[in-house]
């Protein structure tokens, strides 16, 4: 018995990954089933169900649950269980027509050309893609990477319970960092942690990330630096590089008994507020009692306000989640304070001025963001010492120096401070 938070839904973890003889039998059976190709997003969702991160889901959603998630964050098939983003599997029309209700199919990852699982098809249905995008992403702009994925998916959704037979390349490629929820819960219990704050990361840790983690450690037993190792958009730093950079920072600047690292295989949707809620759901399954929600959590571009992901936790029904958000204001380095600070604590409002060589020229607040860090590094410009630790910069410099073709990184309002309502306290 532990004092850790219960999984979502209040029951036990529900992993759908088969092992041993059951896994071998399912693989053999799948050789004789029709193949349904899956996108990288669908594959990652299947693995999340396999490892129990999407507890208590037992498969891809039917129409009623799809619409319920879109409209009210709930699943009618599960007595109104809270769920913020539809988890669906699409198919091309010809493929869907060839499949009968009740038929079992093999789920095939097209990128790795590998069997990932099987599904008993209980329902076939079409959806309004623009409607889903408006509800989940708050936009239908095809430039939004999440919208692009939805609009490109097949016209028919297939629903039904799944059996998972593979975790793809994640256990080997990210050995030592990739974890199932049960693994994380075991480690938390061994440390006698009962309150655990999850820090969501898709970028290397700069000093603002570290500052948020240190604050969380002050109010919880420990912090779980939980990195996304699934697919990202062009311009984001690859997961294997990010892991090295975070290792370099954590190993030198954190107490070993107060921090743990883990990796999870979900693909980013960049859905901002809605994705923050999904992050909360599966972090609860991992055993985390809190989720650090800072500026522009899971956002992209200027589609969301800098603190919309915090506000949405106040808009969902009471009791929808056991996990609680740790809402953090915009953090930065203040040259007047001589330390990291936030808009709630720092009285100095002028922006810091940094020249092309990374030298300080005046002003107070140096705003930090992963996007700004990537832009400076990709353009070969000096990074101010206050921005990130030298060990992190060394890892990133090696990566950017190795690139034959640079990816342009565009700054948006949330990365520069040029947005309205830049404080969560307003």
Report, as residue numbers or ranges, the catalytic residues: 202-203
- Rounded Cα–Cα distance for residues 13 and 209 (Å): 29
DSSP reduced 3-state for 398: helix
CB 116 within 8 A of CB 306: no
Q: Please give the structure tokens belonging to residue 411.
A: 């700054």
Q: Which token pair is 41?
A: 């997003």
Structure tokens that stand for 13 in this block: 């973890």
Tokens for 145? 């990477």
Of 278, 275, 276, 284, the residue nearest 322 (C-alpha): 284
Q: What residue has token string 């030592």?
A: 176
**Partner residues linked to 197 by β-bridges:** 223, 290
Structure-token pair, residue 322: 């056991």
Extract the tokens encoding 186: 């075991």
Q: How far apart are the C-alpha atoms of 11 and 58, rounded to whole Å?
A: 14
Q: Residue 176 is encoded by which pair of tokens?
A: 């030592």
Name the strands in the sheet holding 196-201, side by side, starting at the edge strand that comes first in the sequence. 259-264, 222-228, 196-201, 290-293, 324-327
């Amino acid at each position: 018995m532990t004092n850790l938070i219960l999984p979502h839904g209040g029951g036990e973890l529900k992993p759908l990954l088969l092992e041993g003889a059951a896994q071998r039998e399912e693989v053999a059976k799948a050789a004789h089933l029709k193949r349904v190709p899956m996108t990288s997003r669908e594959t990652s969702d299947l693995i999340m169900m396999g490892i129990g991160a999407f507890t208590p889901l037992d498969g891809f959603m039917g129409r009623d649950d799809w619409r319920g998630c879109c409209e009210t964050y709930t699943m009618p098939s599960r007595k109104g269980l809270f769920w913020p983003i539809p988890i669906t599997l699409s198919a091309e029309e010809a493929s869907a027509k060839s499949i009968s209700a009740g038929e079992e199919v093999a789920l095939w990852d097209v990128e790795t050309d590998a069997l990932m699982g099987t599904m008993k098809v209980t329902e076939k249905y079409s959806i309004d893609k623009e409607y889903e995008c408006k509800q989940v992403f708050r936009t239908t702009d095809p430039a939004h990477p999440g919208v692009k994925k939805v609009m490109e998916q097949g016209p028919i959704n297939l629903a039904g319970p799944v059996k998972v037979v593979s975790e793809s390349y994640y256990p080997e490629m990210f050995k030592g960092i990739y974890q199932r929820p049960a693994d994380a819960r075991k480690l938390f219990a061994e440390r006698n942690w009962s309150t655990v704050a999850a820090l969501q990361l898709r970028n290397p840790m700069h000093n603002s990330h570290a500052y948020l983690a240190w604050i969380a450690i002050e109010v919880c037993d420990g912090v779980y630096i939980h990195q996304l190792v699934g697919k990202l958009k062009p311009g984001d730093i690859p997961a294997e590089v990010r892991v090295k950079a975070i290792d370099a920072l954590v190993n030198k600047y954190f107490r070993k008994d107060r921090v743990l690292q883990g990796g999870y295989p979900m693909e980013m949707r960049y859905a901002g507020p809605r994705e923050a809620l999904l992050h909360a759901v599966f972090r609860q399954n991992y055993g985390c009692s809190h989720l650090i929600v800072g500026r522009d959590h899971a956002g992209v571009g200027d589609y969301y306000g800098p603190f919309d992901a915090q506000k949405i936790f106040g808009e969902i029904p009471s009791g929808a989640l056991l996990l609680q958000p740790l809402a953090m204001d915009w953090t930065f380095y203040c040259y007047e304070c001589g330390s990291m600070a936030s808009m709630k604590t720092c009285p100095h409002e002028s922006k810091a001025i940094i020249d092309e060589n990374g030298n300080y020229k005046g002003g107070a607040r140096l705003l930090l963001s992963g996007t700004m860090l990537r832009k400076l590094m990709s353009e070969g410009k000096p990074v101010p010492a206050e921005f990130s630790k030298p060990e992190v910069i060394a890892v990133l410099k090696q990566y950017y120096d190795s690139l034959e073709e640079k990816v342009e990184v565009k700054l948006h309002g949330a990365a520069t401070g040029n947005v309205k309502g830049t404080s969560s306290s307003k």
